[in-house]
Structure formats: structure tokens, C-alpha cells
Amino acid sequence: MMNVFVKMKRTMEILNLLIGFELVAIGVLYLIKLDIPSAASWSIFGCMYIVMDKYSVLENMSKNRRLVEGIKYASAWLGFAISTAFLVYVVFTL
């Protein structure tokens, strides 16, 4: 029974990373269309999705824990940077 739970946690970790990257990609596509608010919203949401597992129990997660943690750390900073840039954009366009 414990093996199934561990496998499920690893699968969820991978799925959360993939979904997060897809959401960031949607944000990039909106940026290409010059829809800044939508681009920021989707990208921030994607970064949040990527770091979502950061607050779960770290035991029995992926074997590439260092790589996954690095991706999540970078995504957290990317989300912060996009959020800050979007805040500045909104302040000056309102």
C-alpha cells in the first residue's frame, strides 16, 4: 500500500511540473499577442503551479530531487519577477 502512495506522489510531482510549464507557455503566447495582463496572469499561475509541491512532504518524492528543487526555486523567483513587473504595469496604466 505504501508503494502505491509513493508512486502517486511522484506522478503528481511530475504532473504539477508539466502543467506549470504549459501554463507559462500559454502566458508566453499571450505575450506574443501583446496581451500583457493575460500573459502575466497565466505565467504567474504557471509558476504557482510549479512551486505548489514545494510545501508538501519531501520524503519519497522524485529521485532527481535536487533538479526538481532547482526548477521550483527558479520558478518562484520568475513568478515574483513577473508579479512585480505586472504590478508596475498596472500602476502606470490605470
pTM (whole model) above 0.75 = no
State the burial class of residue 5 (Cβ atoms within 10 Å of its Cβ: 0-12, 13-18, 19+). Answer: exposed
**Domain limits at 48?**
2-93
Kindly tell me if the per-residue pLDDT of 86 is higher than 80.
yes
Number of domains into which the chain is organized:
1
**How do residues 27-82 score in pLDDT, each as one tens digit?**
999 999 999 999 999 999 998 888 876 555 555 555 677 787 788 888 888 888 88
